[in-house]
Amino acid sequence: MTYDGHVRDAVNHQSVALRTELEGRGPTLGAFSVAGYPDLTSSVETFVAFAQSGATVLEVGAPAVDPWLDGPAIAAAHRRALRGGDGVSTTLETVRQVSSLSDSPVITMIYWATVLAYGPERMTRDLASVGASGCLVPDLPPAYAPAWAMAAAVAGITAPLLAARGASPGELSATCRAATGFVYAPAAAGQRTGYSDGIDLDELASFVGEARRIAPTTAVLTGIGISTPELAASAVRECGVAGVVIGSPLVRALADGGLERALPVVERFAASISQARAG
C-alpha cells in the first residue's frame, strides 16, 4: 500500500474534521481498541459502532509485540490481533474501512518501534492515504519529535503527543509546543492503561493547566486512569480537559461479551461527560 498524492484534499478534510471536533462546544469522547481485535472484520464493526453510540473520536491501536504502556486487558488484545497478521497492514486496512464508514475522525496509536521499523515518513504517508486524521506515538523519543511532526505535516495528518506526568518543565514545554491536534495527558501518573485505583484531580488539573498555558490553542485530552463515567465527568468538569479517551473499560467489555457489553459502556461515558459540560 503506497501513498497517493491525489488524496491530499481528503487527508486535509480528515484533519479539519479532527480540529472541528476538538474545538466544538461539547466534550470529546475518544474510544480506543486494537486494530484486528478479535479479527479485522469485527474490529471495523466495533469502531463504527462506537461512533454510532457516542464516541466522537476513534483511536485505533496498532497491534504491537511489546505494548509497554498497556495493562493486561489491552495487552491481551494486542496478542490476539497479531495472530491475524502484520500489525501495520491490519491497522491501515482497519483505518481505511472505518474512515469510509464513519464521519468520526480516526486517530492511530502506534508504538515507536513499529514506526521506526516501517519508516516514519512512509508511515505518515500511508496513514494519510487511508484516511487517518493523526497518529499518536506514545513513546516518541524527544529527539525525533521535530522530524516526526514535520513528516506528519507534510503528509497532512496531525501528530498528537503524550505529555508524561513526570516531565521536567523544559520537556513539557517542548512536548506541548510540538504537538499538533492535541496533547494527551495521562490522568494517572506513572501507570499503564487499565489503572483503576483513583486519580488526584487537583494534580491533573494543575498539569493540564500548565499544558494549556504553554500551548493555549492546542486541546488537551486525558485518559489512563479514567475508569468510570463518573471519573470522566469529573475530569471534564474540574480539570480543564477538552475530553477523555477510554480504552481498557471498552476492551474488557469486548472480551467479556462483545459489542453487546461494550456499547452500553460507550453510551454511559458519553452521557456522563455531556452532562458534566452542560452542568
**Residue positions annotated with a catalytic role:** 59, 70
Whole-number Å distance between alpha carbons of 56 and 37: 20
Return the DSSP state at 158.
B
Q: How many CA atoms lie within 13 A of 120 on its CB side?
A: 18
Whole-number Å distance between alpha carbons of 94 and 62: 10
Whole-number Å distance between alpha carbons of 264 and 228: 13
Query: Are 109 and 94 spatial neighbours (Cβ–Cβ below 8 Å)?
Result: no
Whole-number Å distance between alpha carbons of 38 and 83: 9
Helix (H, G, I), strand (E, B) or coil at 36: coil
Copy the grid coordinates of residue 86: 502484520
Q: What stretch of H or E contains 219?
A: strand 219-223
**∠ Cα 161 167 168 (to 5°):** 130
| Residue in the structure block whose three cell numbers are 463504527 | 48
228-260: b (≥16 Cβ within 10 Å) or e: ebebbbbbbbebbbbbbbbbbbbbbbbbeeebe
